[in-house]
Amino acid sequence: MELKKGCKDLVAEANEKIRTIPTADAIARHGDPGIVFVDLRDVRELQREGMIPGAVHAPRGMLEFWVDPKSPYYKDVFGSGKEFYFYCASAWRSALATRAVQEMGLEPVAHIEGGFGAWKKAGGPVGEKPEKPAAGK
Percent of the chain predicted with pLDDT > 70: 96
SS3 84: strand
Integer angstrom CA distances of residue 31 from 28, 36, 53, 66, 83: 8, 9, 9, 23, 12
Q: How many CA atoms lie within 13 A of 98 on its CB side?
A: 33
Tell me how many domains the chain contains.
1
Q: How far apart are the first and last CA of the chain?
A: 42
- The answer to the question of residue 133 being in a domain is no
Digit-coded pLDDT (tens) for 8-46: 999 999 999 999 999 999 999 999 999 999 999 999 999
Q: By CB neighbour count within 10 A (0-12 exposed, 13-18 middle, 19+ buried), where does 115 fall? A: buried
Evaluate whether residue 136 is within a structural domain: no
Which domain covers residue 56, as residue numbers? 19-121
Whether residue 75 is predicted with pLDDT greater than 70 in this model: the reply is: yes
In 3D, which of 26, 48, 57 has the Cα closest to residue 123? 26
Cβ within 8 Å of residue 10, ≥6 positions away: 96
Give the pTM: 0.93
Is residue 109 a part of any domain in this protein?
Answer: yes
Residue 7 lies inside a defined structural domain of this protein: no
In the predicted model, is pLDDT for residue 89 greater than 70?
Answer: yes
Q: What is the CATH number of the domain that holds 107?
A: 3.40.250.10
Note whether residue 28 is domain-resident: yes
Within a domain: 128: no
In a domain, 29, yes or no: yes
Predicted confidence at residue 133, as pLDDT, reads 53
